[in-house]
Structure 1
Amino acid sequence: MSDTDHDLFRPGGTFWTRTLYKIGWLLVAFPLKLWTRTTVSGRENLPTDGPYIVCPNHRSYLDTPYAALVPGWGRMRYMGKHTMFKVARLRPLFYALGAFPVNRGKADREALKRAIQVLDAGEALVLFPEGERKSGPMVQPLFEGAMFVAAKANVPMVPVGIGGSERVMPKGKNFIYPRKVHIEIGPPVPPPTAPDGKRVPREAYAEQTERLHTEMQRVFDLAMERVGWSYPVTD
């Protein structure tokens, strides 16, 4: 990361990056909310005494701006595909809008370090534990990256179900259909802890990952019920 990129990534942001985020929210997230009649339930479950990790299911490219609606007006931070940052002139925009690069498909220690820095600065972070976009009604097995970051930063994970986004912009389509979306926010899942105060055992990671998976499935099911749509039954 160059010195310029480091200034733009700076946890907590600058006045310029925070302002640009608000502008981006008004130009992207808010119109999307109106176009798809998006409703949000469960904001009372969001922690008010510190940072947290938002963990939504992932069914559409639009899930990122939908995740921006979770806290309302508050700024969120995101991991973005490293290829997005290859165009130098666009990097400042992506950083200002809350994103920072990650190399998918391999352990990216630098991205995990940045994620922890964001949380340590008191900002909320969006991570999609399923990884890349999936399809269908079942939440797929979760990667442990979100759990690792949560344990290192000692912050809770908030399960979020985004129902209907796959209908709004299905894979292979470039049009945004005006179909209803609902976002359901569940109670936070605490991070895994070390009984001896030293090293978190793998069993604790696995247990909390399974708990997060169960909660993500529950809120996803609720969100799908609210939009009145279900996936076609296949043999």
Structure 2
Amino acid sequence: MTLCIAVLHAVFPRTMCSANRRYIWLYGRSTLFLLRPWLPVRMRNSQMAVEHPGSVVVCNHQSFLDIYLLAAQDQANVCLITKSWPFRLLFFFAPTMRSAEYIDAESLPTEQVEAQCLERLRDGATLVVFPEGSRTRTGALGKFRSGAFHVAVKAGRPVLPLLIHNSFQVFPPGGKGFYPATIHMEFLDPVWPQTFSEELLPHRAMMRHVRNLYVKHLTNATGE
């Protein structure tokens, strides 16, 4: 299937981009369905990104499973901003990622990454960014990077915070096993860049606000 998609993309590049993203979403949702006896996912506000197309979804990053968990929400036309290693190492899946026009934020210059992000938003895709940059190694929320918020401010599009609870406990980075448990996910309310227009650096003020939302909700979820 992946090879067929790569061939079709070579012939119909513009037509196939959105179709490829939907194929990846369907692949992820099918995987979650098969894992449901051991990994039930409880999702709140799953329609949020559908109701706000062309938005910037930011998500905390607890585990490799998070890539699949993105399919629990209902927006299929998503474009992932990722590091270089999936394009290098996931040889069986990399052609589909390229066909879906996922963005390699590690290999490209910052200006080119931003330009591609803005282009995807103009085309109606929903961007998905892990603002921590990499998976947590301790379970704690990491420092946020401001790139996703800078793009949202430039595009005038909302940031949609997507929270993942418990995937670290299920499949921790560097762990030697898979521990069945229930995953809880939820979209928070959209955060609009216009709210921060009076700030000296609107994107950084927006980033701090969103990170504080994560700290609050993740702390409440764990009871700490």
TM-score by length of 2: 0.78
Q: Distance in 2 between matches of 1:38 and 1:60?
A: 14
The change in CA–CA distance for 1:8 and 1:83 in structure 2 (over 3 A counts) is farther
The residue aligned with 1:206 is 204
Q: Distance in 2 between matches of 1:40 and 1:132?
A: 23
Find the partner of 2:64 among 61, 65, 71: 61
The change in CA–CA distance for 1:223 and 1:75 in structure 2 (over 3 A counts) is farther
Q: Distance in 1 between matches of 2:138 and 2:81?
A: 23
The residue aligned with 2:27 is 24
The change in CA–CA distance for 1:223 and 1:125 in structure 2 (over 3 A counts) is farther
Give the letter for the 1:48 counterpart: E
- For residues 34-88 of structure 1, the C-alpha deviation after alignment (integer angstroms, 9 at most, x for no partner) is 5311101133654625321111111111112112212x26232112222332377
Find the partner of 1:216 among 197, 214, 217: 214
Q: CA RMSD in A?
A: 3.4
Give the letter for the 2:127 counterpart: L
Give the letter for the 2:41 counterpart: T
The residue aligned with 2:132 is 130
The residue aligned with 1:116 is 118
Find the partner of 1:163 among 162, 165, 176: 165
Contact 1:21 1:98 in 2 (8 A): no
Q: Distance in 2 between matches of 1:11 and 1:204?
A: 35
Write the mapping of 1:26-175 to structure 2, written as runs, cut at 5 A. 26-33=29-36, 35-43=38-46, 45-46=48-49, 48-70=51-73, 72=74, 74-86=76-88, 90-96=93-99, 99-103=102-106, 108-136=110-138, 138-173=140-175, 175=177
Give the letter for the 2:187 counterpart: I
Deviation at 1:165, TM superposition (A): 0.3
Q: Distance in 1 between matches of 2:163 and 2:177?
A: 22
Q: Answer yes or no: is 1:13 the counterpart of 2:17.
A: yes
Query: Any unmatched runs of 5+ in structure 1?
Result: 231-235
- For residues 141-162 of structure 1, the C-alpha deviation after alignment (integer angstroms, 9 at most, x for no partner) is 3111011111122111111211
The change in CA–CA distance for 1:212 and 1:19 in structure 2 (over 3 A counts) is closer
Give the letter for the 2:113 counterpart: A
Q: Distance in 2 between matches of 1:206 and 1:142?
A: 10
Give the letter for the 1:213 counterpart: R
Q: Distance in 2 between matches of 1:135 and 1:174?
A: 14
- For residues 3-24 of structure 1, the C-alpha deviation after alignment (integer angstroms, 9 at most, x for no partner) is x989888598254x25532542
Q: Give identity over the alignment, percent.
A: 21
The residue aligned with 1:188 is 190
Contact 1:60 1:133 in 2 (8 A): yes
The change in CA–CA distance for 1:55 and 1:34 in structure 2 (over 3 A counts) is farther
Q: Distance in 2 between matches of 1:178 and 1:97?
A: 31
The alignment of Structure 1 onto Structure 2 pairs a total of residues equal to 216
The change in CA–CA distance for 1:89 and 1:176 in structure 2 (over 3 A counts) is closer
Q: Distance in 1 between matches of 2:94 and 2:156?
A: 29
- For residues 113-172 of structure 1, the C-alpha deviation after alignment (integer angstroms, 9 at most, x for no partner) is 222211111111110111111144643331110111111221111112111000111121
Q: Distance in 2 between matches of 1:201 and 1:6?
A: 45
Query: Any unmatched runs of 5+ in structure 2?
Result: 1-7
Q: Which has the higher helix share?
A: 2
TM-score by length of 1: 0.75
The residue aligned with 2:5 is none
The change in CA–CA distance for 1:8 and 1:148 in structure 2 (over 3 A counts) is farther
